[in-house]
């Protein structure tokens, strides 16, 4: 059996293969009204196509735990029961076609209230469905963003509960895996990094204080998430800053703490918390971060970042650099990447009966 098409068992869940889809925002939900934050026909078609293409696990895009936690007014959310009902159509289809439905729970922090990327991505105000952003410290992300409001300790506790409430709704919506978004310069990442966290209370300063909020969120979600279902955490392995930021060493140390708090897999990305940094991109450029966590801790990892080629993906797993690969842009270009990879490698993947002539 090829490494890509070996089942992955986490807790009591069996994921049929190790070709996974990472969260990729579609910015296609209604910005206001009774359907705000609820998935639409676009979301259904988008995720269903990757499921029929053989993807083993699909992590639905960053789904906000509160209206204020959205990246844009057009993001998905899980802060009410209308959204739960709309998600069931997607999770039911994915599960029926052999794909494990997962969801990323998120709060955008100081990078919230922005326009859709194809509209420029600039911050927006109330006239464009926007709101005031919040963060660990009143530091804007860049020159375009306004300074966010600093969260009080009571507000931090409220956000922790919002993550737990969203996890309960995710379970009710039919998701089998939840992922906590702690990467890309959004709220949890902002607390982790000294670049964006200048607090002097119990949530800032030392490593222990800066990781406190993240671990409180993990504990709150793990408490409501069933013991038989996996919980993932997405991390930016580095801010790509020479000093004053979150580092790969911090990520390795943090991985052990996450494992001890009930995280089953670390989804290893990088960047997004500091504007203007130069990131040396290239095929598999983030894989070494995942490999280091896997080699230095007991926590399973998923690798992401310009993984496009079948042989490349197979080699990452066969060499023990990761336990799964997450294909983002490549799955946007080719929803049936997993089926084509199985044909090339001699692996097995579920094919819809309607597609039997293509086998």
| CA of residue 162 relative to chain centroid, distance | 17
For 170-205, b/e burial (b = at least 16 CB within 10 A) is bbebbbbbbbbbbbbbbbbbbbbbbbbbebeeebbe
d(CA 210, CA 222): 20
Q: Coil, strand, or helix at residue 311?
A: helix
Upper half-sphere CA count for residue 113 (Cβ side, 13 Å): 24
CB 151 within 8 A of CB 134: yes
186 as an active site residue: the answer is yes
Pairing between strand 149-150 and 265-269? unpaired
**Cβ(324)–Cβ(290) under 8 Å?**
no
> Do residues 155 and 134 make contact, with C-beta atoms less than 8 angstroms apart?
yes
Q: Which two tokens stand for residue 82?
A: 């209308």
In angstroms and rounded to an integer, the radius of gyration of the C-alpha atoms of the chain is 19
Q: Give the dihedral sign, CA 339/344/348/353.
A: positive
The beta strands (E) that lie in 208-300 are given as 231-236, 265-269
Alpha carbons 309 and 334: distance in angstroms, whole number? 12
Which of 27, 47, 74, 186 is catalytic? The answer is 186
Q: Which two tokens stand for residue 293?
A: 């966590």
Active site residues: 186
């Amino acid at each position: 059996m090829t490494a890509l098409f070996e089942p992955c068992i986490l807790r009591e869940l069996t994921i049929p293969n190790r070709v996974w889809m990472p969260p990729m925002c579609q910015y296609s939900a209604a910005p206001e009204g009774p359907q705000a934050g609820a998935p639409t026909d676009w979301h259904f078609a988008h995720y269903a196509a990757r499921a029929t293409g053989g993807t083993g696990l699909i992590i639905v895009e960053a789904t906000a735990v509160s209206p204020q936690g959205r990246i844009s007014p057009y993001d998905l959310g899980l802060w009410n029961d209308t959204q739960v009902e709309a998600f069931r159509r997607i999770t039911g289809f994915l599960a029926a076609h052999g794909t494990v439905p997962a969801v990323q729970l998120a709060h955008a922090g100081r990078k919230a209230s922005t326009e859709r990327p194809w509209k420029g991505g600039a911050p927006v105000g109330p006239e464009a469905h926007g709101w005031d952003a919040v963060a660990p410290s009143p530091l804007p992300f860049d020159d375009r963003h306004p300074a966010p409001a600093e969260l009080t300790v009571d507000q931090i506790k409220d956000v922790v509960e919002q993550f737990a409430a969203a996890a309960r709704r995710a379970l009710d919506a039919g998701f089998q895996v939840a992922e906590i978004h702690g990467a890309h310069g959004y709220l949890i990442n902002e607390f982790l990094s000294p670049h964006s966290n200048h607090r002097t209370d119990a949530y800032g300063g030392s490593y222990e204080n800066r990781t406190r909020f993240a671990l409180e969120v993990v504990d709150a979600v793990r408490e409501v998430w069933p013991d038989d279902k996996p919980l993932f955490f997405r991390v930016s392995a580095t801010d790509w800053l020479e000093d004053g930021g979150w580092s790969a060493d911090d990520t390795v140390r943090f991985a052990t703490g996450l494992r001890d708090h009930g995280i089953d897999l670390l989804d290893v990305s990088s960047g997004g918390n500091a504007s203007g940094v130069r990131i040396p991109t290239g095929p598999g450029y983030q894989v070494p971060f995942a490999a280091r966590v896997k080699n230095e801790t007991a926590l399973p990892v998923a690798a992401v970042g310009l993984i496009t080629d079948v042989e490349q993906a197979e080699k990452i797993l066969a060499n023990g650099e990761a336990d799964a690969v997450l294909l983002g842009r490549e799955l946007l270009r080719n929803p049936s990447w997993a089926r084509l990879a199985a044909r090339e490698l001699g692996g097995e993947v579920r094919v819809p009966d309607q597609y039997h002539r293509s086998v």
